[in-house]
Amino acid sequence: MQKAQKTKDEKKAEIIKFKGKYISATGRRKTSVSRVRLYKKGDGKIAVNEKKANIFFIEDCVLIVKQPLRLTGHLKDVNISIVTRGGGKKGQAEAARHGIARALISLDENLKPALKAKGWLTRDARRKERKKPGLKKARKAPQWSKR
């Protein structure tokens, strides 16, 4: 009984919310959509769906999310709140990166050339192709036999 309560308390401690003025942007990748809020006065905390980024994502995805901040030198200057839906974890991380890059441009227009050169401002629209009737997958056909 006590173990269950302890985990609830631990989960409550993990919830992160920020207050104050923010810049908002949207990022997309495959079927994932991320709404990003960039708080100007901050200390480098990142919250994804009200949890710490390293709790919500695995290590590789956290690095993907932090890429635009690292490139522009805003890693310790701002707090970021991300609400992400749809797709898988990697798609959500890349959607968050897209949203953060867009929010940084709203913060400072001079960052645009560096972010554009990395390709983080372009929405990556690649998706899984739909399955067609009569085929096993999108393009894979059943084995053909002459007789």
Beta bridge partners of 82: 36, 48
Does residue 15 register a pLDDT over 90? no
Q: What pLDDT was estimated at residue 62?
A: 95
Number of domains observed in the structure of the chain? 1
Considering the domain boundaries, does residue 97 fall inside one? yes
Q: What pLDDT was estimated at residue 2?
A: 54
pTM tops 0.75, yes or no: yes
CATH number at residue 38: 3.30.230.10
Q: How far apart are CA 24 and CA 81, in angstroms?
A: 9
List the single range of 6-10, 19-23, 35-39 with lowest mean pLDDT: 6-10
Considering the domain boundaries, does residue 109 fall inside one? yes
Considering the domain boundaries, does residue 91 fall inside one? yes
3-state secondary structure of 68: helix
Q: How far apart are CA 115 and CA 79, in angstroms?
A: 19
The per-residue pLDDT for range 48-101, each reduced to its tens digit, is: 999 999 999 999 999 999 999 999 999 999 999 999 999 999 999 999 999 999
Q: With CA atoms as reference, report the closest residue to 23 among 103, 105, 108.
A: 103
- Residue 16: pLDDT band (50, 70, 90) is confident
Domain with 108 in it: 21-118
The per-residue pLDDT for range 102-116, each reduced to its tens digit, is: 999 999 999 999 999
Considering the domain boundaries, does residue 9 fall inside one? no
